[in-house]
Amino acid sequence: MSVLSVLVVDDHAMFRTGVRAELERLGSGRVEVVGEAEDVDSAVEAIAALRPDVVLLDVHLPGGGGTEILRRVGTSSTFLALSVSDAAEDVIGVIRSGARGYVTKNISAEELLDAIDRVAGGDAVFSPRLAGFVLDAFAGTIEIAQVDEDLDRLTDREREVMRLIARGYAYKEVAKELFISVKTVETHVSSVLRKLQLSSRHELTRWASDRRLI
């Protein structure tokens, strides 16, 4: 069996290092991590230069995110999304753009190796809960076009704040989670409510829940 070349794309250096270490420890003879990238531009350059068999792709990245990488490079490699986000619009958006699978970052190293093998072999791979989003999208039970239109009004940071607030986080907890000030959280929440034409955190939670964003 040939060794699969893998590129790790994530904006957190510590996470990239951890993934590389685990794949090299458990995947010797199965995979080889040939490079890393931290944003859209460096990922596009690395994919063109290295031609990896599989790209492990974070969804939210500086410069436009995982969907922008897929838009720019097409399907020259096989893409497996590996993200902390389990929001429906992230899953469906990156799959519609050409990724072969989507797994969350709580996956074990062995499960990740198996997912890499499977997408390289042509299978579609999803964490169990996320497969339902894709099925619902094809069945038409999630109004993805409307979700996309609404979320396009928000910046990446506003989306992160929106999800945490909708999940019941206090402003201080959001600030700690995202390494920003409470004042910045308040500013983002005000902007989110204004852009989505909502008047309270309660309405925001209901809005996000209806769209399976939390």
For 175-210, the pLDDT digits (tens) are: 988 889 999 999 999 999 998 889 898 889 888 877
Q: Return the pLDDT at 117.
A: 94
Q: Return the pLDDT at 14.
A: 92
% of the chain residues with pLDDT over 90: 47
Distance, in Å, from the CA atom of 118 to the CA atom of 113, rounded to the nearest integer, reads: 9
* pLDDT over 60 at 148, yes or no: no
Structure tokens at 188: 């983002």
Between 125 and 134, name the one with better pLDDT: 125
Q: What is the pLDDT of residues 3-27, one digit of tens each?
A: 999 999 999 999 999 999 999 988 8
Q: Return the pLDDT at 22.
A: 93
Strand pairing report for 4-9 and 31-37: parallel
Mean pLDDT, range 130-138, rounded to an integer:
64
* pLDDT over 80 at 107, yes or no: yes
Three-state DSSP class for 79?
Answer: strand
Distance, in Å, from the CA atom of 69 to the CA atom of 82, rounded to the nearest integer, reads: 14
Q: What is the dihedral of CA 179, 184, 185, 189, to 10 degrees?
A: -150
Q: What is the pLDDT of residues 25-66, one digit of tens each?
A: 888 889 999 999 999 999 999 999 999 999 999 988 888 788
The identity of residue 152, as a single letter, is D
Q: Which of 81, 79, 74 is nearest to 60 (CA)?
A: 81
Q: Please, are residues 153 and 123 in contact by the beta-carbon 8 Å criterion?
A: no
